[in-house]
Chain A
């Protein structure tokens, strides 16, 4: 799967995107966040307030209980500020 990070989340984590196989114990977006937080302090800092982070799977907004597959493109980002 491919995972992308934007804006201050990208800065805190230190990478814009990464690819890895869906971990065996990760079923939902929420599980993925928990798994990422355990990867390192940048992730823990980025996801310190998970309620403000929005998630998109394959370019569509999804709730955190959305189930993931290994072919998904998942994106995490702060609230949007365009316009």
Chain B
């Protein structure tokens, strides 16, 4: 299931709803992303006041659904969920929830990791950071591309 929303989410309620009534599920792996303040380490002016997430309505939902379908085709998942927020968020607030439920632990953990790597490089979201010094768009990270690429190599090999 895909949810793109401004409002906050309740992790326990989301996980309970995800597994409700399905006794084939042996475990849930989940990841919750938070707004962190790394830039403020040096001076108060650099402290993060807020982060605004912009996205591309329509494409976001389509890409997240495609990424989820890909995860379900690679691992034996009983249920999966991606919740991603947009709009203005303050440090400590929840941004994203990914959860994968499976009969087995490894499938749930791997699928969860895969979903996070792929959504970081494929889902059309952009972060604008607001500090005492002004506003700045967050740059994409080469390490995120590398993290997503390792799953692609596996697919290519599997296809051979």
Residues of A in contact with B (beta carbons under 8 Å apart): 4, 6-8, 56, 59-61, 75, 77-83
Given A59-B59, A81-B139; 17 other pairs, CB 8 A cutoff: A60-B62, A77-B56, A78-B126, A78-B140, A80-B123, A80-B124, A80-B126, A80-B140, A81-B120, A81-B125, A81-B140, A82-B96, A82-B120, A82-B126, A83-B119, A83-B125, A83-B144
Least CB distance from B137 to A in Å reads: 5
Query: Contacts A4-B56, A6-B54, A59-B62 known; A80 to B137 CB distance under 8 Å?
Result: no
Which of B54, B96, B137 contacts A83, CB < 8 Å?
Answer: B96
- Contacts A7-B54, A75-B59, A77-B56 hold; do A83 and B126 have CB atoms under 8 A apart? no
Judge whether A7 and B126 touch: CB under 8 Å. yes
A77 CA to B138 CA, complexed, in Å: 13
- What is the CA–CA distance of A47 and B118 in the complex, to the nearest angstrom? 26
| Size band of the interface chain B makes with A | 20 to 34
> Is B134 interfacial (CB-CB < 8 Å)?
no
Residue B121 CB within 8 A of the other chain: yes
B154 CB to closest chain A CB (Å) equals 20
Q: How far is the CA of A80 from the CA of B55 in the complex (A)?
A: 9
Which B residues are in CB contact (< 8 Å) with A8?
Answer: 137
- Find out whether the CB atom of B33 lies under 8 angstroms from the CB atom of A77: no
Among A4, A6, A7, A80, which residue has its beta carbon within 8 angstroms of that of B122?
A: A80
Once A6-B126, A59-B62 are accepted as A-B contacts, the answer to whether A81 and B56 lie under 8 Å apart by CB is no
Q: Do B137 and A6 touch (CB < 8 A)?
A: no
Q: A26 → chain B, closest Cβ, in Å?
A: 22
Supply 21 A–B pairs (Cβ within 8 Å), ascending by A. Answer: A6-B56, A8-B137, A56-B56, A56-B59, A56-B124, A59-B56, A59-B59, A59-B62, A61-B122, A75-B124, A78-B126, A80-B124, A80-B125, A81-B127, A81-B139, A82-B53, A82-B126, A82-B127, A83-B116, A83-B119, A83-B144
Cβ contact within 8 Å between B123 and A82: yes
Beta-carbon contact of B58 and A7 below 8 Å: no
CA distance A75 to B63 in the complex (A): 14
